[in-house]
């Protein structure tokens, strides 16, 4: 008889799974399970919001030897926010066991972080710079590490992080497992083979198989660039909106932010120049509903999981399909509902329709009328603008 997904795990994990209200594993969770348990090196690509963190975390927790107080698993992520999200998940799923976890990020007090190492964590989650710093200080002992995870691996293999990541991987034993997870294609997959000396297994879960699009509405508003700020204001005034707004560059973002503030729209900013406290404050304000819109650059929003996010807004049109998928996956996560709204010029409309065709899902033209998205034929009066 075929084993069920859940029967691969210990009773503690099974209990937390049921308490979390999960019924079935996602496609990526099923696809990578055996490879992770069998200690294979893998590169896994799956859309945002499909449960990649649990896809590697649950089988890695299963493999931890609770009697061994050495570090056995190291998880690397490119941003503080993502490190903390993964760490919180690791804490949740190890609750009730003797497995100890710790997180390490740049910008935090290093003395305080050294104190964490005295607890002898078996799972370590961190940003590459801080992890390498602790290795060089000989405070982080890597000789018994069994598995290294590169979460948002496409980012960790870029110019900014590559040498650091490579040094961290080389500090472990040759037979350790290397797992890379990403929502987008890896530009240089050969870097993994160069680090391990082995060819990794490729596992891809396509967008149309995933569960992210099932309960997400995809809409677009036809508008000229000068009208976008006014449209944002109208969306912010809708009921129960908690939206992440993607703006391509920081200069335009700051101008837009000042415009919205002037109009008394509850809005926040998220970009890479903010310090840790400012970033956390912006995210907390959105989670608590103190602000309705959070303007973000693509880099600053990598890996974010904002509970209850109702809308993703493509204020600036995405550069390609991968970016559309990655941004859009911030809402409608793990079976929850969400709405994706693209601001589109007539010229960009054709490109958006190509995205819809490739994704095999409808992206509907809408307008805003009396605080709602409505079909363009509804309530359209002569002389009225498209999005009145």
Mean pLDDT confidence for 320-347? 84
At residue 234, the pLDDT reads: 95
Q: Are strands 147-151 and 177-182 parallel, antiparallel or unpaired?
A: parallel
Reply yes or no on whether the pLDDT at 10 is more than 80.
Answer: yes
Supply the pLDDT for residue 180. Answer: 96
Q: The whole model's pTM is what?
A: 0.68
Q: Going from the N-terminus, what domains does the chain have, and what CATH number goes with each?
A: 6-205 (3.40.50.300), 212-375 (3.40.50.300)
pLDDT at residue 335, rounded to an integer: 58
Euclidean distance between CA atoms 217 and 358, whole angstroms: 16
Most confident by average pLDDT, 118-132, 179-193, 290-304: 118-132
228-234 average pLDDT score:
95
Quote the Cα angle for 93-151-280, to 5°. 75
pLDDT at 353: 94
Top mean-pLDDT range of 12-26, 65-79, 95-109, 290-304: 65-79
**How much is the pLDDT for 323?**
84
Residue 45: partners with Cβ closer than 8 Å, 6 or more residues away: 182, 183, 184, 185, 186, 202, 203, 204, 205
**pLDDT-based confidence at residue 31 (cuts at 50, 70, 90):** very high
Strand, helix or coil at 339? strand
Supply angle C-alpha 120, 121, 123, rounded to 5: 155
Confidence of residue 169 (pLDDT cuts 50, 70, 90): very high
Chain centroid to Cα 350, Å, comes to 28
Mean pLDDT of the chain, nearest integer = 88
Output the pLDDT for position 179. Answer: 96
User: Residue range 289-312: average pLDDT?
Assistant: 84
More confident residue, 380 or 373: 373
pLDDT score for 363: 92
- Band (pLDDT 50/70/90 cuts) for residue 213 is very low
Rg, Å, the chain Cα set: 22
Tracing tokens 């600053």 back to the chain, one arrives at 300
Question: Which one-letter DSSP state was computed for residue 105?
Answer: -
Tokens of 28: 């990526």
Which residue in 75, 124, 119, 67 sits closest to 98, CA to CA? 67
pLDDT of 364 higher than 80 = yes
What proportion of the chain, given as a percentage, has pLDDT over 90?
A: 59
Higher pLDDT, 169 or 385: 169
Is the pLDDT reported for residue 282 higher than 80? yes
Q: Is the pLDDT of residue 56 over 70?
A: yes
Residue 382: C-alpha distances to residues 13, 243, 344, 385, 387 (Å): 60, 31, 22, 9, 13
């Amino acid at each position: 008889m075929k084993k069920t997904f859940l029967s691969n795990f210990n009773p503690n994990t099974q209990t937390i799974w049921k308490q979390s209200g999960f019924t079935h594993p996602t496609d990526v969770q099923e696809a990578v399970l055996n490879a992770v348990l069998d200690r294979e090196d893998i590169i896994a690509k799956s859309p945002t919001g499909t449960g990649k963190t649990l896809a590697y975390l649950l089988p890695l927790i299963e493999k931890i030897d609770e009697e061994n107080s050495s570090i056995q698993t190291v998880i690397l992520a490119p941003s503080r926010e993502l490190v903390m999200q993964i760490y919180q998940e690791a804490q949740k799923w190890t609750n009730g066991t003797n497995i100890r976890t710790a997180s390490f990020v740049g910008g935090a007090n290093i003395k305080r972080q050294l104190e964490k190492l005295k607890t002898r964590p078996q799972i370590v989650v961190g940003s590459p710079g801080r992890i390498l710093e602790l290795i060089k200080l000989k405070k982080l002992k890597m000789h018994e590490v069994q598995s290294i995870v590169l979460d948002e691996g496409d980012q960790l293999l870029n110019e900014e992080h590559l040498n650091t990541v490579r040094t961290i991987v080389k500090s472990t034993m040759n037979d350790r497992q290397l797992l890379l997870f990403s929502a987008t294609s890896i530009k240089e997959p050969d870097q993994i083979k160069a680090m391990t000396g082995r060819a990794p297994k490729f596992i891809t879960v396509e967008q149309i198989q995933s569960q992210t699009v099932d309960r997400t509405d995809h809409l677009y508003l036809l508008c000229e660039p000068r009208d976008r700020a006014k449209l944002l204001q109208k969306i912010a005034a809708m009921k129960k909106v908690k939206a992440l707004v993607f703006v391509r560059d920081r200069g335009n973002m700051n101008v837009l932010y000042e415009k919205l503030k002037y109009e008394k729209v509850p809005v926040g900013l998220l970009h890479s120049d903010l310090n840790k406290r400012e970033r956390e404050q912006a995210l907390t304000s959105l989670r608590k509903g103190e602000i309705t819109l959070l303007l973000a650059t693509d880099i600053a929003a990598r890996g974010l999981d904002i509970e209850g996010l109702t809308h993703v807004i493509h204020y600036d049109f995405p550069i390609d399909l991968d970016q559309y998928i990655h941004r859009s996956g911030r809402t409608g996560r793990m079976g929850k509902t969400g709405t994706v709204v693209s601001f589109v010029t007539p010229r960009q409309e054709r490109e958006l329709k190509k995205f819809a065709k490739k994704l095999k899902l409808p992206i509907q033209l809408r307008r805003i009328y009396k605080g709602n998205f409505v079909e363009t034929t509804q309530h359209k009066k002569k002389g009225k603008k498209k999005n009145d």
